[in-house]
């Protein structure tokens, strides 16, 4: 009986041990499952968030790409600002030089002083070759004796151009415009032309009198030829301040004369050589500039108000001048008085309609 009880207790202990081990195993399996399921859930939640974020990125913001795009747009705006913003310019910023000589003070300057000069008294300077107290007073001190020769040779012309250009460089003006004493200048149209271009950029404005670029021998290598355009001085030309400053180391201090002598060409051609050939700045052709080398009679009267400069000349007994109505030709052979009254009829000497 005692032996049977011992066996029963042994079996019961084994059963209890089995149940305990089974319970422990079940407990650890449950804990592991819960942890695994929670981790999976968290991972799934993260994956869902990431997928949602990735779907939204193109519609809202990918930080690195968006920053690059913003930088690109800023650069575009900066470029647009630099290329479209014009520096302020008014008539007060204009320097007009008129080349003349003592013998033409009376016959030519009087006509200018009566007409277009009155529209730009403070902007016009006359460059001559002699002192003349009468015309110095008439021009309010704007008659400059260059001390150049009164002849019309290459050296004399370049000497006066040097004086004109140096005077401009010493001023604080923004545009340099050269004309001859046989030009009429439509000042408001000239100012409008210059306002459409920035004086801070390189501009060489004028009109050539030849149909093809000028070819000359290269003085440094006589086997080579150079070609360039130039604006004829007889129609007038303009140079921006920015370009003038680039020219200064080459031409400042009267060196236009030296260059002209070296290439053996007159003042306007020398300017074209310096600008087009040496500095590689191209001439911008302005069709509204006109010289005495053109037949003035072909300019249509209804288009005259749109033009900027005019001229005249006389060949034997034939006058090359505008064909417009106005004053008697004996009183106004150049037609500049008639032109002025056509453009600005309120001047006191103009006939009242």
Catalytic annotation, residues? 268
In sequence order, the 6+-apart residues with CB closer than 8 A to the CB of 218 are 224, 225, 226
Dihedral of alpha carbons 294, 296, 300, 304, sign = positive
User: What's the first-to-final CA gap in the chain, in angstroms?
Assistant: 158
Other C-beta atoms closer than 10 Å to the C-beta of 53 total: 10
Other C-beta atoms closer than 10 Å to the C-beta of 201 total: 14
| Tokens 């086997």 belong to residue | 223
Instruction: Determine what percent of the chain falls in helix, strand and coil, rounding each to the nearest 5.
Output: 50, 15, 35
In sequence order, the 6+-apart residues with CB closer than 8 A to the CB of 340 are 115, 116, 184, 347, 350
| Tokens 């939204």 belong to residue | 56
Give CA–CA dist 239/174, Å, rounded: 9
């Amino acid at each position: 009986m005692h032996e049977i009880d011992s066996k029963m207790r042994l079996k019961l202990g084994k059963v209890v041990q089995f149940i305990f081990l089974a319970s422990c195993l079940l407990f650890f399996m449950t804990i592991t499952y819960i942890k695994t399921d929670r981790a999976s859930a968290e991972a799934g939640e993260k994956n869902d968030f990431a997928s949602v974020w990735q779907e939204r990125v193109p519609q809202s913001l990918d930080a690195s790409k968006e920053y690059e795009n913003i930088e690109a747009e800023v650069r575009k705006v900066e470029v647009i600002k630099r290329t479209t913003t014009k520096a302020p310019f008014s008539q007060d910023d204009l320097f007009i030089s008129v080349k003349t000589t003592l013998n033409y003070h009376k016959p030519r300057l009087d006509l200018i002083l009566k007409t277009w000069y009155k529209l730009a008294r403070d902007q016009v300077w006359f460059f001559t070759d002699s002192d003349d107290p009468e015309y110095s007073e008439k021009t309010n001190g704007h008659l400059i004796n260059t001390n150049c020769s009164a002849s019309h040779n290459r050296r004399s012309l370049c000497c006066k151009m040097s004086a004109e250009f140096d005077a401009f460089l010493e001023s604080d003006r923004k545009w340099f415009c050269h004309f001859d004493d046989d030009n009429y200048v439509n000042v408001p149209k000239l100012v409008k032309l210059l306002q459409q271009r920035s004086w801070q950029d390189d501009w060489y404005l004028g009109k050539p009198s030849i149909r093809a670029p000028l070819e000359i021998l290269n003085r440094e290598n006589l086997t080579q030829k150079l070609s360039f355009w130039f604006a004829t001085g007889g129609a007038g030309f303009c140079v921006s301040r920015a370009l003038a400053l680039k020219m200064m180391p080459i031409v400042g201090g009267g060196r236009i004369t030296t260059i002209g002598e070296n290439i053996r060409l007159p003042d306007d051609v020398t300017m074209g050589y310096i600008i087009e050939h040496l500095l590689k700045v191209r001439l911008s052709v302005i069709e509204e500039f006109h010289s005495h080398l053109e037949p003035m009679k072909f300019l249509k009267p209804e288009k005259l108000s749109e033009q900027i400069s005019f001229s005249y000349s006389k060949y034997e007994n034939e006058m090359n001048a505008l064909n417009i109505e106005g004053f008697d030709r004996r009183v106004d052979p150049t037609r500049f008085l008639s032109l002025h009254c056509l453009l600005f009829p309120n001047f006191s000497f103009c006939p009242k309609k």
